[in-house]
Structure 1
């Protein structure tokens, strides 16, 4: 028989090297002896025979090669026709499939244009794996970016993981590859097989846009429909923008899902998203937290990375269930008026072979130059923020979590490492920018674009920067030259405060500036005050164990520290376990020590946090002007000998205020004189030394202010100041 293809093309189809399989396989019009005919070609390596089924009629195809290429010429047909393929395999039963090469491209010109420009902020709507029905045929549409690849195939259980069967169509201008594969559906595992320019053995990569992944140590992506979940959070979503405004109380409970609580006697004993939500939400509601912040929940291969070394940016990790399970978690939080913030990691990504690194054989997502492309400290790759593919990928990812999962905030990890080209590098290990400076211009532009995009698409969503340097304008609008974040983590306050509080009270008088220095810059940004997971690992000790003194003093110091955090301008964040006084450092491999709540002192500490959260919500003075100098006034900062400081917090209404007095020594002060704005009766809103919290119950139940200038105020009070304790007072109305 005379075949319609040359030996060279036949061989290239057989060995998978042909650059445009859609021009060969499927149904095509050809000329034979000057006459138009149709030829149908199929490549099925597993087949002993292939038969075309057209309108219930069967036409057997002829084998063109021993590797599985078949064809048939239809001489009397002038129009294209729909067909299926009946395959008799060498092993197993006969089956019928719809040919993937029957279908034209499903990507719109608009998507291609936006992708090419680097402006596709919802690329997840067409990239990745999406289940469609085309011409009455159900299947999955696959799209991936791999500009430098010479061939990209979808491999999976549905084709015996053979990269020759479902080779994709390439859009050369944009570097995008595409194919619609009939019959591939929910739960099917897949990867991309990518042949590199060097013609090395093909790479096998997980889908960068996969919405679900195989449980580690498996690395395959899984076809999943994420569009059918029925949300019940309409009330929250409608009011979110108001609840998350700068003048609202925000108190954040940071947690690691895999170690908050575990199932007893099971390995690894993870609660899934639903089980965690059912236990966590009542707990947080009772404690009065407004938000929960999750350490990264995107797919990652290595548990001890805590989720910060990601391979699947669009997939909630399968450790804790399905994407719908995570939707349930968010939904459950929202129904209880608890916002959900997730840690987002655009600073770097994991080097694992199935991930983004060298995705198409080149530095597609990362810089090729290790001086720009590698984080030696973390053993990860740095994104190349100047590439359109990276901007599309990362900004789409941020929008995706807000869109599909209703998350309310994104905390961006390691922003400092993004801003500076010489971050954690010695001389000669980094490359200056085009102006000779150390600033990463592309990363700065990216961060501004990220914040503008998130705030444009989701005005109620808030963004946080974990930024540890003195970079100016992190939480200022991009139009004024800022980075556009809503809040910046106040790492300076955290470090200075912990350094101070860990000192023996006897020596604190020599270091009072560490306690008060933060007020010099407290209103230069919109700050969050964090005592995060980073402060209770790697031999830093737990929050309780950091405190000096005996057990009584440790608890008293920690209660005082927490009251100080809530009284200080800024929103509050505390890592799980710190609310009840975990003695041991946090470990991702085990549950928190919940048994400690059998002891009254741990119960008292937890009750203090509950009351602080309640007070923070109730008292406008503690939250309305967190980022405004009008909300704060020192009363006395000079009594270093007694390690006592006092100040006023005001609401937008300046007559609505509270007085805060903090004693950082274990000495009780009787008749201690403090200036206050006006005379009259004052009530004690909070005394961290209360017996209810495990304290000694020192202090006054009734406080009367007399006219008489003191500390620059018009009136004064003479009160008992409890040991290692804080007081919050308010005039009685």
Structure 2
């Protein structure tokens, strides 16, 4: 396929390009309008090819229906097909033929697909539960491999070997979510990022059903409306957090059966929760025994050959997005999860790595030219446009979130405007800002103007998911916010039955303020990682040789959050209160207006949707009769106070006082409030 020579295009090549909505919205994009138009032209041309070939983009995304193992009820047996154009020979092996690697050959078709029909009469042992593989003869030798579109992979307890398994339940799963509509429940996404395996308090791997029955009720009660599931697709190394995927169509069997995952999603929908899958199309695991690498011995197939196919930082393989068969494979993967498991959308992982040949490593994005020059991977951009278009065709209201730290313009704008089609982008700079601030700055040196800039420095017209921390900050090698704030006191100073020392009081207060100001001003959606809502005291470290294969740190201690004698419980109640406040007022749907930034007193105030958020970050100074611009005249009622006793505060603010704005000498309305140190208040203007 043609790759755009983006660095050679000018607006003369596309005279209509400056009229693209994306360019009109951001005049700084005018010099690159021709490149943006060329990307849109490529999308239309490729989609037209697909429609001419298959009739529709959704019909084209059917590779999972063509390849792999499929039961033929009419002929009473299974068809096994695999795309391996460079292979010398393929054989089906398994317990059905006593693992005889030369007994059941496949026949090669002209399109490079190999196939065989496995009759039940010939192979009576080929039944649901049977294990099987492909035995591939190729230039790299003879090896057992797993089918590319395998839907269930299980691991032998003794040998640790992975095999494909026939999964064909007698009774299909009975969905009861026909009435669930994302838009009815998710106005602004309040996302709960979770890993099913580490969601239990016990030191073991949790299951899909346990998460559904034990964790979903917590998420619902907390007020979140979207569950973002990590590590869904099968991955051989548990500790990869699911980011080194081997089998893109197989739900991880370590958490249960495919029907168990369907039960989880069906139950989430029953509770009014949308479910988003963490989708990893940015790379794939190198393991050839389990994954896709060098499947036909050609050195590439699904991936680029040579160094371009190797990710230098992730030790993984990189897809060849320009190859039609790879496009079809990945698009089919999206359709499969949407239709088979009723997922409500995807959070695309590693988008920065996809967008650029340098994968963003060691690159500071400081110039618009970096987004449109030769380092941009135009094939990956085209694939992402096709992917978002497909998802919208399959499920119009689906949530699409991109993890990108480069700031690619148009990433979260519609394709027809010249964008890439995502609905949201992650505010990846915010957690980095908080860690750097806590690590390198004294509290008295915090800049209110700098904080406001970080919170609001995002592309206008592109919705952003704000978050103070995610799984990245909770992993070994980093620290969660609670750990940065409290260090060893996270273990010894969290009892509310004794008076908190100064360091504990500081940590308890700032944990609330950081999360509230991030939610209040950082984006149009919000995300929390499982357990961080109550300041989980420990990092995440999966079982490995270095920790003697322990699950101690790969779990969540819910008992801490449930104990009213601990500040963990106070944090949980505060998180619940601020999330419920957004649900009631929907302030994330409104723009923000800075009202006041006082560097000396460390006060920050802003307005959003008729709510006034006021923060006093000063470590010592409580401010009486503190006056600041109110934005609009009127009466103001306190809705949320971080200093309430149930939130671990000291009850220094009167909850029942109605505040009235007063005009200054110029007639400008101002509010006068008492602002205790390290507290936050949210007030609502009367109508």
Cα displacement (A) at 1:659: 0.6
Cα displacement (A) at 1:643: 1.5
Cα displacement (A) at 1:425: 5.9
In structure 1, how many angstroms separate the alpha carbons of the residues matched to 2:81 and 2:414?
A: 35
Are 1:233 and 2:171 an aligned pair? no
Are 1:633 and 2:593 an aligned pair? yes
Aligned partner of 2:275 among 340, 343, 352: 340
Give secondary structure in 1 for the equivalent of 2:141.
coil
Quick check: 1:206–1:221 contact (8 Å CA) kept in 2?
A: yes
Q: For residues 426 and 342 of structure 1, do their structure 2 counterparts lie closer, same or farther at Cα, with a shift above 3 Å needed?
A: closer
Are 1:143 and 2:97 an aligned pair? no
Please show how residues 614-653 of structure 1 align to structure 2 within 5 Å. Answer: 614-620=580-586, 622-625=587-590, 631-637=591-597, 639-650=598-609
Quick check: 2:448–2:604 contact (8 Å CA) kept in 1?
A: no
Cα displacement (A) at 1:632: 1.6
Query: 293-302 vs 223-232, which deviates more?
Result: 223-232
Aligned partner of 1:367 among 304, 307, 310: 304
5+ residue gaps, structure 1:
1-109, 428-432, 626-630, 651-656
Please show how residues 166-177 of structure 1 align to structure 2 within 5 Å. Answer: 166-172=104-110, 174-177=111-114
Q: Which residue of 1 aligns with 2:617?
A: 664
User: CA offsets, 1:385-417, max 9 Å, x none?
Assistant: 111221111111111111100011200111001
In structure 1, how many angstroms separate the alpha carbons of the residues matched to 2:58 and 2:284?
A: 20
Quick check: 2:524–2:589 contact (8 Å CA) kept in 1?
A: no
Please show how residues 207-218 of structure 1 align to structure 2 within 5 Å. Answer: 207-215=147-155, 217-218=160-161
User: CA offsets, 1:35-64, max 9 Å, x none?
Assistant: xxxxxxxxxxxxxxxxxxxxxxxxxxxxxx
In structure 1, how many angstroms separate the alpha carbons of the residues matched to 2:572 and 2:373?
A: 52
Q: Which residue of 1 aligns with 2:652?
A: 698
In structure 2, how many angstroms separate the alpha carbons of the residues matched to 1:331 and 1:522?
A: 35
Cα displacement (A) at 1:676: 1.6
Cα displacement (A) at 1:301: 0.6
Aligned partner of 2:162 among 219, 222, 233: 219
Quick check: 1:365–1:384 contact (8 Å CA) kept in 2?
A: yes
Cα displacement (A) at 1:504: 5.1
Quick check: 1:118–1:389 contact (8 Å CA) kept in 2?
A: no
Cα displacement (A) at 1:545: 1.4
Q: Which residue of 2 aligns with 1:547?
A: 485
Are 1:391 and 2:308 an aligned pair? no
Are 1:727 and 2:681 an aligned pair? yes
Q: Which residue of 2 aligns with 1:50?
A: none
Query: 217-226 vs 442-451, which deviates more?
Result: 217-226
Give secondary structure in 2 for the equivalent of 1:547.
helix
Q: Which residue of 1 aligns with 2:5?
A: none
In structure 1, how many angstroms separate the alpha carbons of the residues matched to 2:294 and 2:146?
A: 12
Cα displacement (A) at 1:681: 2.9
Give secondary structure in 2 for the equivalent of 1:220.
strand
In structure 2, how many angstroms separate the alpha carbons of the residues matched to 1:612 and 1:713?
A: 33
Are 1:402 and 2:338 an aligned pair? yes
5+ residue gaps, structure 2:
1-49, 121-125, 364-369, 487-501, 543-550
Quick check: 1:118–1:392 contact (8 Å CA) kept in 2?
A: no
Cα displacement (A) at 1:185: 2.7
Cα displacement (A) at 1:510: 4.6
Q: Which residue of 2 aligns with 1:482?
A: 419
Are 1:257 and 2:196 an aligned pair? yes
In structure 2, how many angstroms separate the alpha carbons of the residues matched to 1:119 and 1:686?
A: 50
Quick check: 1:676–1:705 contact (8 Å CA) kept in 2?
A: no
Q: Which residue of 1 aligns with 2:315?
A: 379
User: CA offsets, 1:467-503, max 9 Å, x none?
Assistant: 0112111101111221111100011233224433555
Give secondary structure in 2 for the equivalent of 1:717.
strand
Q: Which residue of 1 aligns with 2:397?
A: 460
Cα displacement (A) at 1:350: 0.5
Quick check: 1:705–1:715 contact (8 Å CA) kept in 2?
A: no
Cα displacement (A) at 1:176: 1.2
Q: Which residue of 2 aligns with 1:22?
A: none
Query: 269-278 vs 580-589, which deviates more?
Result: 580-589
Query: Which structure's residues are more often strand, by fraction?
Result: 1
Cα displacement (A) at 1:505: 5.1
Query: 611-620 vs 511-520, which deviates more?
Result: 511-520
Give secondary structure in 2 for the equivalent of 1:623.
helix
In structure 1, how many angstroms separate the alpha carbons of the residues matched to 2:52 and 2:70?
A: 17
Q: Which residue of 1 aligns with 2:248?
A: 313
Are 1:205 and 2:142 an aligned pair? no
Aligned partner of 1:602 among 568, 588, 603: 568
Quick check: 1:253–1:574 contact (8 Å CA) kept in 2?
A: yes
In structure 1, how many angstroms separate the alpha carbons of the residues matched to 2:88 and 2:668?
A: 80
Q: Which residue of 2 aligns with 1:43?
A: none
Cα displacement (A) at 1:111: 13
Superposition RMSD on alpha carbons, in Å? 2.6
Query: Which structure's residues are more often helix, by fraction?
Result: 2
Total equivalences in the alignment: 589
Quick check: 1:192–1:204 contact (8 Å CA) kept in 2?
A: yes
Quick check: 1:505–1:665 contact (8 Å CA) kept in 2?
A: no
Q: Which residue of 2 aligns with 1:417?
A: 353
In structure 2, how many angstroms separate the alpha carbons of the residues matched to 1:306 and 1:578?
A: 17
User: CA offsets, 1:123-151, max 9 Å, x none?
Assistant: 2222211122234xx22111211111121
Instruction: Please say which structure displays the higher CA radius of gyration.
Output: 1
Query: 526-535 vs 692-701, which deviates more?
Result: 692-701
In structure 1, how many angstroms separate the alpha carbons of the residues matched to 2:640 and 2:430?
A: 23
Cα displacement (A) at 1:691: 1.0
Q: Which residue of 2 aligns with 1:191?
A: 133
Q: Which residue of 2 aligns with 1:593?
A: 557
Are 1:708 and 2:682 an aligned pair? no
Aligned partner of 1:442 among 357, 368, 379: 379
Q: What TM-score do you get using the length of structure 2 for normalisation? A: 0.81
Cα displacement (A) at 1:540: 1.9
Are 1:472 and 2:415 an aligned pair? no
Please show how residues 670-689 of structure 1 align to structure 2 within 5 Å. Answer: 670-689=624-643
In structure 2, how many angstroms separate the alpha carbons of the residues matched to 1:476 and 1:592?
A: 37
Cα displacement (A) at 1:426: 8.0
Cα displacement (A) at 1:380: 0.5
Q: For residues 476 and 713 of structure 1, do their structure 2 counterparts lie closer, same or farther at Cα, with a shift above 3 Å needed?
A: farther
User: CA offsets, 1:145-184, max 9 Å, x none?
Assistant: 1111121221111112223222112222x21122221123
Q: Which residue of 1 aligns with 2:96?
A: 158
